Amino acid sequence: MKEKKRSSRCCGWLLVLIVLAGVGFAAFAIIRQKMEPEAAPVPGLPGAITKKYADALKIAMQFFEIQKSGKLDKNPIPWRGDSGLKDGSQAKLDLSKGMYDAGDHMKFGFPMAFTATVLSWAILEYGDQMKVVDQLEPAQNSLKWITDYLINAHPTDNVLYIQVGNPKVDHSCWNRPEDMKEARPLTQVNTSAPGTEVAAETAAALASASLVFKSTDSTYSSLLLKHATQLFDFADKYRESYSISIPEVQTYYNSTGYGDELLWAASWLYHATGEQSYFGYVTGKNADDFANWGSPTWFSWDNKLAGAQVLLSRVSFFGSKDVSSSNILLKYRQSAEAVICGLLPESPSATSSRTDSGLIWVSEWNALQQPVASAFLAVLYSDYMLSSRTAKISCDGHHFTPSDLREFAISQADYVLGNNPMKMSYLVGYGDKYPEYVHHRGASIPADEAPGCKDGFKWLDSDEPNPNVAMGALVGGPYLNETYVDSRNNSMQGEPSTYNSAVLVGLLSGLVTTSSVVQSFA
């Protein structure tokens, strides 16, 4: 069912996007001069609301509610109820919270933690804009639903439960989560079976979330940070991919390496703590080992390198002078700009991995992951430039402004929302035309039915549209030829995922208003 969970670390860009390949990184005097902030429009506080993005954000946020496991005391989704209440009980843990991964009932810790990290990032950067359209509190609540689960999944320093449910058993059923009777086994990483990438991603999630809750719940924030530091130490000390330690995870969320997660987690811990040890971690030997200079990548649940480059560029833009002048930090920023240059259609180094209509397109499985995540990074970088009054970046000698980056981000968002050859929104519930046969068990089965494991397959095969609208679901997306087959059995195109929703929420939050000021994380 979910063979779509492919490694997305392979970039697919055939062009080398970093100008420095022929020049080398020795010429940092030139680099610094080029990167000196120039006069750019002075950004203001959140400006006029762009209604379509505000409406889309409110809809997108609802998918998190649909995906929640556990006791739903304040449940806004009429066809959802309590589920997974005994998850973790065999280990005397409460793993009832968290979110179901996609159209199934699995709790996969690796992408779930990524969902939390991205949602935290979106809140930290654009919480003021979320607040303007009354979406900040829902975002914080959804984030906490995941982080509560992640805290409980980390009962001791070097043990992390990374999965609830057996995928083979889970995917042989078609029923509502409220009616699950199948076994829910637990999978963990530990010192005997390490999982560096999943432990590091969980550390990133908890470190970033600690910043989100720092001003509103300092006790909870401190607890998050405590778990984050422990998990990072575990990830770094016992280095091994969970795909090697636990081979069965390769079928769904196979990892193609852990170096990016270590840099990503250390970057978030640096932002959360300000400790120089984490800055030294990302600028020392680990940068040489894992930064992969000169090879831009797609930002995804599997590869966080482009995200780490943009996040560390934030330090370059706004950090203290002694920190921001670091040569290695400039390499991260240079690499981040290479990623951005690859996205801009007018750039000499623009990737050819896009449809005729301009949508970034890398994989037929979950095709919208890369364009939405790329657009999120582009709008972030655009706002970093605006807030630092940096007028332009250079792509092989061609200059691009913050508005050029924002224009690219808008093009990807608008495609998702209906400006595409199919003239349909890929965000369920938005617009007049959107997928009606979403590959999602709970949405496909009437709420007054309670089928067993096998009985529910008649609804998978039904010719009728889903009786429940999976509001806010971002489906997998179009084929390269920009067609979409709206069939419940078409999981390649029609299955939504929680982590796709996170990057979409980030993108839409960045586009809600016409201007932004980057706020301090502290």
- Pair of tokens at residue 96: 């009832």
Query: Which stretches does DSSP call E strand in 372-490?
Result: 393-395, 398-400
- Pair of tokens at residue 57: 């954000």
- Kindly compute the dihedral angle of the four CA atoms of residues 12, 17, 23, 29, in this order, to the nearest 10 degrees: -130
Q: Which residue has the tokens 């607890």?
A: 223
Are 70 and 84 in contact, with CB atoms under 8 Å apart?
yes
DSSP run (H or E) holding 160: strand 160-164
Q: Is residue 439 among the annotated active site residues? A: yes
- Pair of tokens at residue 301: 């649940």
Of 203, 211, 194, residue with least CA distance to 159? 194
Q: Which residue has the tokens 């059923």?
A: 173
Are 239 and 196 in contact, with CB atoms under 8 Å apart?
yes
Q: Which residue has the tokens 């998050």?
A: 224
Give how far Cα 311 sits from Cα of 279, 294, 308, 416, 459, Å: 12, 17, 5, 25, 44
Give bridge partners of residue 70 from the DSSP assignment: 83
- DSSP-derived 3-state class of residue 46: coil
Angle, CA 177 vertex, CA 152 and CA 458 arms, to 5° = 155
- DSSP-derived 3-state class of residue 169: helix
From the list 105, 227, 439, 440, the catalytic residue is 439
- DSSP-derived 3-state class of residue 112: helix
DSSP annotation string for 459-519? HHS-SSPPSS--TT-B-----TTS-----TT-HHHH---HHHHHHHHHHHHHHSBS---PP
The CB density around residue 423, as the number of other CB atoms within 10 Å, is 10
Positions marked catalytic: 439
